[in-house]
Chains A and B, each alone.
Chain A
Amino acid sequence: MSSPTTPSDAPDLKNPVPRGPIPTIPDEKLRPEVEITINGKSVSIPEGTTLLEAGRKIGVDTPTLCYLENLTPVNVCRICVVELEGSRTLVPACSRKVQPGMVVQTDSERVRHSRRMVLEFLASSVDVSTAPELQSYMEHYEADPARYGPSASPASPSERDDACPGEHSAPDPATAETVHQPTKIDNELYTRDYSKCILCYKCVEACGTDAQNTFAIAVAGRGFDARISTEFNNPLPNSACVYCGNCIGVCPTGALMFKSEHDLRKEDTWNESEQTKTDTICPYCGVGCTLTLHTQENQIVKVTSPLDQQVTNGHLCIKGRFGWQFVQIREASAPSKPTDAQEADT
């Protein structure tokens, strides 16, 4: 059936994409500027900005562990605390919003002391060997975790997961309590070494409403028993996990790690200084996610995505994160059908 048309109604075959006005995106509401003082310097910054962002604007570098640009602040690590005039306690810079007239010290003795204590408590109980950022903070704040004594012996495989609320024996004051425990390896894509977990909640956030919305993990237990767990501590293949690896992407300590990285570290062949990072686009669906390929000796060793990338906000799915083996098991000179033997039998 043909529609009644006037000449201007006919599609212009010569000009398939007519040039129109350049689209405008409704502006975010202009926020009024607020005047505050950080370390004696006056800063003017839009209402709703955090103290962390305000500080960064004038070059004040505040350490963070549980904060990430693409996650909602949860205020748990307390490393970013700053001194706010008139406030009894130190306040977390990552989530405290600016208010007119605030006077803030980000590097006072009280702040430095608090950060040092936070770092010492963490490093005395957690393996921070694959957390370079945390290590650099320790150096900067002269943290000395050794002063709490030698580490208590590590937990047996399921000891910490089986802990029941209220059932505790008194700790041994001669040793430093520890979360050390065996690494959980229950699939071929990523490993979980909770000896390295500082309970920053980032993985929970990324698995939850901040990105993946799968809710496969949460914090279980209270106090020193608190730990990241799947439902009923199921192994990952029996959990709700969909292996997007967005938890690995946000983990600041290497507790969550690509199996590929874990294996290379075990062989002692993981060499970050020899690695290059290249941004490209995922080979699978048409969403167009930027993949940062971390390569070592012409092999992909892990895949991340830039946090400031508009398509991904740093998050990927299982195929983008882990589906790259096919490029590196080819023998082009002698083409042969790729074997299916590697297919997981889980």
Chain B
Amino acid sequence: MFGAGGGTSSYQAIEETDLVILWGSNARETHPIFFHHALKAIHAGAKLYVIDPRRTGSAQWADRWLGLDVGSDVALANAVGREIIAAGLVNKEFVQNATSGFENYKDHVESFTLEQAEMITGVPASVIKELAHAYAKAPTAELCWTLGITEHHNAVDNVLALINLSLLTGHVGRWASGLNPLRGQNNVQGGGDMGALPDRLTGFQHVENEELRAKFEKVWGCQIPPKKGWHLSGMFDAMERGELTALFVIGENPMGSEADHHRTQKLLGNLDTLVVQDILMTATAEIADVVLPASAGWSESNGTVTNSERKVQRVRQALKPPEGARDDIEILFEIAHQEGHDWGEPDPETIWNEVRQLSPMHGGMTYERLEKSGGLHWPCFDETHPGEKYLHGRLWERPIIGPRAPFSTVENKAPFDQLTTQYPLRLTTGRRLDSYNTGVQTSLYQSPLRRGESLDLSPEDGQSYDLNEGEFVRVSSRRGSVIAPVHFDPALRPGLAFMTMHFPDEVQTNVLTVDAVDPKSGTAEFKATAIRIDKLGKSELARENKPVIAGN
């Protein structure tokens, strides 16, 4: 945010805040230990607002659940903003001194009246008003989100719409007031920090800035291409155009995780060369030309990862990897060696010290300090710097330090995959507590909670489609169809369906999802697919080798 991609607060601050908003996040199940911190706040008297199409486990803890329609987040956020302005609850001092573009924003959200928003989102106007007033009046407030915000074709707009609210109210840059994207993977924050983004080098430094590039080139002794690269979805488009013909995949399983599975399958299959470096024989590794068995980053090697509160923490080797598996960096060093480059000894601390040398925000994080402190929050500019438990305190200096924080004007854009009479149901996807992504890791422990893939529907839809619990149905979208058993979940409203992507061997959910991509972030719209359900006859069930459930 405002230049650097990272949550602005820390978990400790969540415990001490007066109001928690979980927007498009079911932290209770997907980030359970983060939710422990939120629960501490709740037990201390904080209010919880949960904004989610499903009445999730998190929503059950909320003072108020806003069950909006999938993909109407911008309309809701803009209406909250408009109400804050209309009710005179803007933090005028902060807006005037620390932000830019307020007048434009004010004009832009003018049309998002409570009534208009109720029509678009399905959330009652009085509840939108309540949220606006509660957020604006809270002495401190933490706004948190997950993939419910970012797995949309307008992901960046969604995030900008939420940032606007924090700027209106001054709920950023202070203790217990901030903006927190909860990260889905143990080092997705660290990956971005290290420069695994198309346009950034380590420490969010722009690759298209000559001066910054020169700094890296000097240390690396090579020329860095002066143009930004592709994000994941861009790579698939490039494969389609025939521009990208070789792919090196490290620790990722796009055959299971990418939206529009059929297209993924075709494009990966057409590559001249596919190299997969992974700890397990994933579906992607199965179709690779070369598989490089790697040691597990979290238990068989040493290094660091960075969490959702920007805390850099050590991972340490506890196990000897299986024979033949090698450390990721060892493999990369060996490849470099084969290509005629000598990178020296593959030592994690040496590499980390290079990070510290090139990325100012990591400068003060020696391994010794990381050991002693149990982890440090970036930015940590030098060895006397304690790390920052919240970001953007500079916006509260008068005059502020650095650039102003800009308001953005964003439009509400309905999901790409539209509902029609042919595809009348909205399918959204997500995780369950005991499973993780494509199940490569979690299918290998014996969870008593696991019940396999299902098409979750509201009991009302079950009735109107004349379905029984456990009945196998055909689920179709504009891209393909799968057969899945039905499960009734009262957390869903009529018209809303839910599936996971944890069991691709049972049901390949991503056959259905749409790869409509946010042009700014490259994230696919996993959260909003239009589907249809068809009952299956006995002969069709027999052909698909599926059981007949009573009532079929």
List residues of A (304-346) whose CB comes within 8 Å of B's CBs: 309-313, 315-320, 322-333, 335-338, 340, 342-344, 346
A319-B442, A343-B450 known; A23-B393 Cβ under 8 A: yes
B403 A324 Cβ-Cβ under 8 A? no
A22 at the interface (CB under 8 A from B): yes
B30 at the interface (CB under 8 A from A): yes
Give the distance in Å from the alpha carbon of A298 to the alpha carbon of B32 in the complex: 29
Q: A293 → chain B, closest Cβ, in Å?
A: 4
A287 at the interface (CB under 8 A from B): yes
A9 B100 Cβ-Cβ under 8 A? yes
List residues of B (1-41) whose CB comes within 8 Å of A's CBs: 2-4, 11-13, 30-34, 36, 39
A298 B319 Cβ-Cβ under 8 A? yes
List residues of B (57-115) whose CB comes within 8 Å of A's CBs: 100-101, 103-104, 108
Chain A: interface size category: 35 or more
Give the distance in Å from the alpha carbon of A233 to the alpha carbon of B426 in the complex: 40
Q: List chain B residues, Cβ under 8 A from A276.
A: 318
From A25, A338, A344, contact of B446 by CB (8 A)? A344
A16-B204, A25-B175, A298-B320 known; A282-B446 Cβ under 8 A: no
Grouping DSSP codes into helix (H, G, I), strand (E, B) and loop, the A interface class, with mixed when no group exceeds half, is: loop
Q: A276 → chain B, closest Cβ, in Å?
A: 7
From A290, A318, A330, contact of B447 by CB (8 A)? A318
From B31, B34, B183, B299, contact of A283 by CB (8 A)? B299
Q: List chain B residues, Cβ under 8 A from A337.
A: 281, 286
A17-B360, A242-B449, A343-B450 known; A338-B444 Cβ under 8 A: yes
List residues of B (412-461) whose CB comes within 8 Å of A's CBs: 433-434, 436, 440-450
Q: B377 → chain A, closest Cβ, in Å?
A: 9
Q: A33 → chain B, closest Cβ, in Å?
A: 24
Which B residue's beta carbon lies closest to that of A238? B448
A3 B319 Cβ-Cβ under 8 A? no
Which A residue's beta carbon lies closest to that of B30? A285
A293 B299 Cβ-Cβ under 8 A? yes
From A16, A20, A295, A320, contact of B318 by CB (8 A)? A295
From A19, A300, A328, contact of B381 by CB (8 A)? A19
Which A residue's beta carbon lies closest to that of B406? A3
Q: How many contacts A-B (CB < 8 Å)?
A: 289
A11-B2, A284-B186 known; A17-B204 Cβ under 8 A: yes
Instruction: Mark contacts of B225-260 with chain A using CB atoms, 8 A cut-off: 1 yes-contact digit, 0 otherwise.
Output: 000000000000000000000000000000000000
B444 A188 Cβ-Cβ under 8 A? no
Q: List chain A residues, Cβ under 8 A from B406.
A: 3, 5, 9, 11
A189 B447 Cβ-Cβ under 8 A? yes
Instruction: Mark contacts of A121-161 with chain B using CB atoms, 8 A cut-off: 1 yes-contact digit, 0 otherwise.
Output: 00000000000000000000000000000000000000000
Selected interface stretch from A104-112, A196-204, A207-215, A221-229: A207-215
A15 at the interface (CB under 8 A from B): yes
A287 B34 Cβ-Cβ under 8 A? yes
A332 B322 Cβ-Cβ under 8 A? yes
From A18, A20, A323, A332, contact of B293 by CB (8 A)? A332
Q: A336 → chain B, closest Cβ, in Å?
A: 6
A18-B402, A280-B316 known; A287-B108 Cβ under 8 A: no
B482 at the interface (CB under 8 A from A): no
Which B residue's beta carbon lies closest to that of A259? B446
List residues of A (14-63) whose CB comes within 8 Å of B's CBs: 14-26
A286 B104 Cβ-Cβ under 8 A? no
Q: List chain A residues, Cβ under 8 A from B378.
A: 17
B307 A287 Cβ-Cβ under 8 A? yes
B393 A344 Cβ-Cβ under 8 A? no
B315 at the interface (CB under 8 A from A): yes
Q: List chain B residues, Cβ under 8 A from A81.
A: none
B33 A316 Cβ-Cβ under 8 A? yes
A3-B100, A20-B392 known; A285-B185 Cβ under 8 A: yes
From B13, B206, B318, contact of A280 by CB (8 A)? B318
Chain B: interface size category: 35 or more
A279 at the interface (CB under 8 A from B): yes
Selected interface stretch from B120-128, B382-390, B493-501, B520-528: B382-390
Which A residue's beta carbon lies closest to that of B408? A3
B189 at the interface (CB under 8 A from A): yes
A10 at the interface (CB under 8 A from B): yes
B298 A16 Cβ-Cβ under 8 A? no
Give the distance in Å from the alpha carbon of A311 to the alpha carbon of B15 in the complex: 11
B401 at the interface (CB under 8 A from A): yes
Q: A186 → chain B, closest Cβ, in Å?
A: 8
Q: List chain A residues, Cβ under 8 A from B436.
A: 284-285, 319, 323
Which A residue's beta carbon lies closest to that of B385? A22
From B3, B31, B32, contact of A286 by CB (8 A)? B31
A183 at the interface (CB under 8 A from B): no
B403 A278 Cβ-Cβ under 8 A? no
Q: B365 → chain A, closest Cβ, in Å?
A: 13
A286 B401 Cβ-Cβ under 8 A? no
A67 at the interface (CB under 8 A from B): no
Q: B514 → chain A, closest Cβ, in Å?
A: 25
A80 at the interface (CB under 8 A from B): no
A237 at the interface (CB under 8 A from B): yes
A255 at the interface (CB under 8 A from B): no
List residues of A (238-283) whose CB comes within 8 Å of B's CBs: 241-244, 276, 278-283
A18 B443 Cβ-Cβ under 8 A? no
B309 at the interface (CB under 8 A from A): yes
A12 at the interface (CB under 8 A from B): yes
- Find the residue from A280, A293, A295, A300 having the highest chain B CB count within 10 A: A280
Which A residue's beta carbon lies closest to that of B43? A209
A1 at the interface (CB under 8 A from B): yes
Give the distance in Å from the alpha carbon of A244 to the alpha carbon of B378 in the complex: 30
From A12, A287, A309, contact of B31 by CB (8 A)? A287
Q: List chain B residues, Cβ under 8 A from A21.
A: 393-394, 397, 401
Q: List chain A residues, Cβ under 8 A from B212.
A: 14
A8 at the interface (CB under 8 A from B): yes
Q: List chain B residues, Cβ under 8 A from A335.
A: 281, 285, 291, 293
Give the distance in Å from the alpha carbon of A242 to the alpha carbon of B200 in the complex: 40
Q: List chain B residues, Cβ under 8 A from A344.
A: 446-448, 450
Which B residue's beta carbon lies closest to that of A344? B446
Give the distance in Å from the alpha carbon of A1 to the alpha carbon of B101 in the complex: 10
A4-B100, A298-B319, A324-B299 known; A317-B433 Cβ under 8 A: yes
A175 at the interface (CB under 8 A from B): no
B505 A340 Cβ-Cβ under 8 A? yes
Q: List chain A residues, Cβ under 8 A from B374.
A: 290, 309-310
B162 at the interface (CB under 8 A from A): no
Q: List chain B residues, Cβ under 8 A from A293.
A: 299, 318-319
B149 at the interface (CB under 8 A from A): no
B552 at the interface (CB under 8 A from A): no
- Find the residue from B43, B293, B447 having the highest chain A CB count within 10 A: B447
Q: B386 → chain A, closest Cβ, in Å?
A: 6
B297 A283 Cβ-Cβ under 8 A? yes
B205 at the interface (CB under 8 A from A): yes
Q: List chain A residues, Cβ under 8 A from B298.
A: 280-283, 291
A17 B361 Cβ-Cβ under 8 A? yes
A317 B33 Cβ-Cβ under 8 A? yes
Q: List chain B residues, Cβ under 8 A from A285.
A: 30-31, 182-186, 436
- Find the residue from A25, A241, A309 having the highest chain B CB count within 10 A: A25
The 8 closest A-B pairs by CB, nearest first: A288-B307, A286-B183, A20-B394, A3-B101, A18-B402, A278-B318, A317-B32, A188-B446
Given contacts A8-B403, A243-B448, could you give 11 more A-B pairs where the C-beta distance is less than 8 Å?
A19-B379, A25-B13, A278-B318, A286-B184, A286-B188, A311-B11, A317-B33, A317-B433, A325-B445, A326-B445, A344-B447
6 contacts between A and B (CB under 8 A): A9-B100, A12-B402, A17-B378, A288-B313, A332-B321, A342-B444
Give B residues with C-beta under 8 Å from A: 2-4, 11-13, 30-34, 36, 39, 43, 100-101, 103-104, 108, 175, 182-189, 200, 203-206, 209, 211-212, 279-281, 285-286, 291, 293, 296-300, 305-309, 311, 313-325, 360-361, 374-375, 378-379, 381, 385-386, 388-394, 397, 401-404, 406-407, 409, 433-434, 436, 440-450, 505
